Amino acid sequence: MSAFSPRQMFVLDEACKPIAEAFDATPYLVGTAATRQEYRDVDVRLILDDETYTRLTAVVGPQLVAFLGLAIGEYLAQRTGMPIDFQVQQQTAANALHCGARNPLGLRTLDNYRGDARVPVGEGESAESGLFAPGECTGASDCDALVHVHGCYRPHRADQCDSPEEYGHIPPVGEGEQGNG
């Protein structure tokens, strides 16, 4: 359970949208702030696939990647008022060293913040079916949301995964709505 109020989570999520867009990668809330009520700082990680991380460090060097993390962390701290620890990490290293919960940031819409007394918003919806916003992952194996996070902690299509039978995939392009990952 996160230590954040819905307003704080909304502000953090919105602040991460330009980061996700600029890097074409998902930032994640990790660490104690993602799981406990008390925390020292808010750990946000941009986990880049190995090829992208290698290209970035080859072009700008590891010192500038570290400084980029500090600069983005300062941007997030100013936007959110939270003590942010932001780091850019290589996917293989992040997955090998850290196996805790990862909460994707920069993906939510206003539907994700409607609260627990949701009213029906679409055709065929009832008050009972309104526990999750349209397109929001319910965590069920038959969930039909467009974006999920599972196992390898990144949104993706089933045809891009080594566990395509698991739930949590963006439909392949051409099936349902357009996937972008």
User: Quick one: 23 and 94 in the same domain?
Assistant: yes
75 is written with which tokens? 């941007």
Q: Residue type for 137, please?
A: C
154: domain range? 131-181
User: Quick one: 92 and 135 in the same domain?
Assistant: no
Summarised one tens digit per residue, pLDDT across range 76-121 is 999 999 999 999 999 999 888 877 778 899 988 777 766 555 555 5
User: Quick one: 47 and 135 in the same domain?
Assistant: no
Flag whether 174 is in a domain.
yes
Residue 161's pLDDT is 52
If one compares 89 and 38, the residue with the highest pLDDT of the two is: 89
Alpha carbon dihedral 66, 151, 42, 35, in 10-degree steps, equals: -160
- The stretch 146-154 carries a mean pLDDT of 44
Residue 26: pLDDT band (50, 70, 90) is: very high
Flag whether 52 is in a domain.
yes
117, exposed or middle or buried, with CB in 10 Å at 0-12, 13-18, 19+? Answer: exposed
Question: Residue 155 pLDDT > 70, yes or no?
Answer: no
Q: Where are the alpha helices (DSSP H) in the chain?
A: 6-23, 32-35, 50-60, 62-80, 91-97
Contact 88, 65 (CB under 8 A): yes
If one compares 103 and 168, the residue with the highest pLDDT of the two is: 103
